Structure 1
Amino acid sequence: MERWLALELVSTIRHDGDGGITDDLATVQGTARWIREHGDLLADRIEVGELAVDEDLRLEIIELRQAVRALFGWAVSPAPPSPPDAHRLMSTDQAVTHLNTAAACEPVTPQLVWPLEGVPRVRLLSAENDPYVRLVAALARAAIDFLSGPQRLQLRSCTAPRCVRYFIKGHGRQEWCKPSCGNRARAARHYRRQRAATDGGSAPS
C-alpha cells in the first residue's frame, strides 16, 4: 500500500485505543521520533538523520498540520471532517495561504535523475541551508502534491466510532479505514438497532 507523507502527517492525531485521542507531535521527543520514522518518505527532500528537533520546529509542523487537516476536511465535504478538530479548523483561504507560504520558503530546482538501469525520477536541488526550513517546506510540498493529485478524490474521513483518521478509499464499497473500524461500526449499528427495538422505536438505517 502506498504511503503518502501528507496523510501520515494528519494521522499524527489518532485514537489511542482506549477511548481517547493522542497526538504524536505533543512533545519535542515525539516529533523527533515521528520525523525519524518517516525518513524514507523524506529521503528525496531532506536527510533527517542528524536533524535536531526543537520546540520552534515542533510548533511549525503542528501549524502546518492544522492547515493540511483543514484542507483535508474541505476535500471530503460534503461528508463531515475528522472530528477531533472539526470545530476549530482554519478557514480554507487561510489554510491554502499557510501551505503555499511554507512551501515557498525553500527555493528548489527540479533535477532529472535517470540511472542506467532504472526509471527516471525527479530530485529537488535546494538553495536553502537551514534544515528546519527545508523540512517544513518539504512537508508543505508533499501536501500540495497530495491535494492536487487524483488521490484527493478518494480521500475519506473514517466514520467508525472513536476513529479520527483520514484514509484513501481503495475500492468502491470501502467505508472505513481498516477492518477493525468496520467491525466496531457494525457492532455500534447493531447495538443501536437492538436498543431501538427494545425501546419500541424504529431502527435507524
Structure 2
Amino acid sequence: MVNTVALDLASTIRHDGDGGVLDTLTSVDGLEALLADVGLVDVAASDALLVRVVEVRAATRALFARAVEPGPPSRADANRLMPLDDAVALINRSAALAPVTPALSWPPSSTMHTVAGVSPDDAVLATLARATIDFLTSPDAAELRACTAPRCVRYFVKGHGRQEFCKPSCSNRARAARHYSRTHAA
C-alpha cells in the first residue's frame, strides 16, 4: 500500500488546466485542505505553519526530482530545485522536531505516538517529513515518476508496466498533442 501523504504534499503543485501551474499552498485555506486530506485535522493552520510546510514541500519535490532520475523531473521543478544537501537536511531536521514512540494496541497493530510536549506545528512538520522519508525508503520509490503529459507537473507511482501518465486525462492530453503535432507538421 502506497503511503500517499508525501505524494499529497507534492501534489499541492499541479497544472491549472490552462497551461500554468497552480499552487494550492498559497493561503491558510489551502493548508487547511492539505491537513484535512492527510488526516491532520486537529491542527490549527496559520501563516507561520504555511511557510514551514511550503519549505518541506520544496524539499520533498527536490528529492522526488532526484528519485525519478534518469527520467526528467516535473516541469514545475526543473529550474528551481532546492540543492540536494539542503533538501535532505531540511527533511531530517523537520522529522526530528517531534520524537515518536511506537505503541502496541490490541488486537495487535503498531501505531506511532508523538512524545508529549511537542507543539502541534512541529508535529505536522515532523509527520510530513517522516512521510517523505518513509516513501523514499519504500519499494514504491522505485516506481515514482514525473508525469510527462503536456502541462502536467505531478509525480505519481507507476501502477503497472505500461503506465506513463499520472491519470487518464493526462494520457488523453498527450495523445491529442501527438496527433496535433503529426497533423500540423510543416
TM interval, short-chain normalised:
over 0.9
Asked which structure has the greater CA Rg, the reply is 1
1:175 aligns with 2:164: yes
Is the contact between residue 111 and residue 125 of structure 1 (CA under 8 Å) also seen in structure 2?
no
What fraction of aligned residue pairs are identical, expressed as a percent?
54
Which structure would you say has the larger RCO, counting Cα contacts within 8 Å and 6 or more residues apart?
A: 2
| 1:151, distance to aligned residue in structure 2 (A) | 0.3
Is the contact between residue 95 and residue 129 of structure 2 (CA under 8 Å) also seen in structure 1?
yes
1:18 aligns with 2:10: no
1:98 aligns with 2:90: yes
In structure 2, what is the equivalent of residue 27 of structure 1?
A: 27
Is the contact between residue 102 and residue 110 of structure 2 (CA under 8 Å) also seen in structure 1?
no
Stretches of structure 1 lacking an aligned partner (at least 5 in a row): 43-47, 200-205
| 1:167, distance to aligned residue in structure 2 (A) | 0.4
Q: How does 1:51-90 map to 2 (within 5 A)?
A: 51-90=43-82
Q: Distance in 2 between matches of 1:7 and 1:20?
A: 20
RMSD of aligned residue pairs (Cα, Å): 1.5
In structure 2, what is the equivalent of residue 36 of structure 1?
A: 36
| 1:188, distance to aligned residue in structure 2 (A) | 0.6
Once the two structures are superposed, residues 14-37 of structure 1 have per-residue CA deviations (whole angstroms, 9 ceiling, x without a partner) of 112232211111111221122123
Is the contact between residue 108 and residue 127 of structure 1 (CA under 8 Å) also seen in structure 2?
no
1:9 aligns with 2:9: yes
Q: Which runs of 4+ in 1 moved over 4 A?
A: none
Using the TM superposition, name which of 11-20 and 67-76 deviates more. Answer: 11-20
For 1:160, what is the secondary structure of its paired residue? Answer: coil
The one-letter amino acid paired with 1:62 is V
Once the two structures are superposed, residues 43-77 of structure 1 have per-residue CA deviations (whole angstroms, 9 ceiling, x without a partner) of xxxxx23x221111000000000000000000001
Indicate how the Cα distance of structure 1 residues 112 and 125 shifts in structure 2: closer, same or farther if over 3 A, else same.
farther
Stretches of structure 2 lacking an aligned partner (at least 5 in a row): none
Q: Distance in 1 between matches of 2:117 and 2:145?
A: 35
Task: Count how many residue pairs are aligned between Structure 1 and Structure 2.
Answer: 186
Q: Distance in 1 between matches of 2:134 and 2:176?
A: 37
1:126 aligns with 2:115: yes
| 1:2, distance to aligned residue in structure 2 (A) | 4.8
In structure 2, what is the equivalent of residue 190 of structure 1?
A: 179
